[in-house]
Amino acid sequence: MMGSLDEDALSDMVQYAHETQHEKILRGLSLGIAMICYGQLEAADPTIQSLTDDKDPVLRMCGMYSVGMAYAGTGNNKAIRRLLHVAVSDVNDDVRRAAVISIGFLLFNAPEQCPNVVSLLSESYNSHVRYGAALALGISCAGSGMKEALNILEPMIN
């Protein structure tokens, strides 16, 4: 199912997500939907758009993770702009954090770009956004030992 963009599965999962009252089931569905979008690039855009326009913050968070999965490793500028816009404008902290974390997934093939992209976010007043910036750096720069990434993370420790 991962990366299949199966329309039947997606519609069933989104429909069930709208109907359920259980937070844990909803979060599990949101990650499952994002994984179905893995590697689909522009083909996943209609699904992503419908998720990001939803009034439910968990489904908007799912939209952010779907962007990260659909464009994983590509460094797609349009996707990065979309994530940055949500990271600074959404009213829900979990959605903002998911947007910043997803930047790490987009940039894992170009880890040298991630510190520049998330450096201002790492200084945000919002702790959720700072947390997302730390995870984005960890995802994209894992094992690289990049001084720039470490210089951004070090002030967050204190």
Query: What is the pLDDT confidence band of residue 30, given thresholds at 50, 70 and 90?
Result: very high
Q: What are phi and psi of 4, to 5 degrees?
A: -85, -25
The model's pLDDT over 47-65, given as tens digits with 9 standing for 90+, comes to: 999 999 999 999 999 999 9
pTM: 0.94
All residues at 6 or more sequence positions from 32 whose CB lies less than 8 Å from its CB, including other chains: 1, 13
The model's pLDDT over 82-140, given as tens digits with 9 standing for 90+, comes to: 999 999 999 999 999 999 999 999 999 999 999 999 999 999 999 999 999 999 999 99
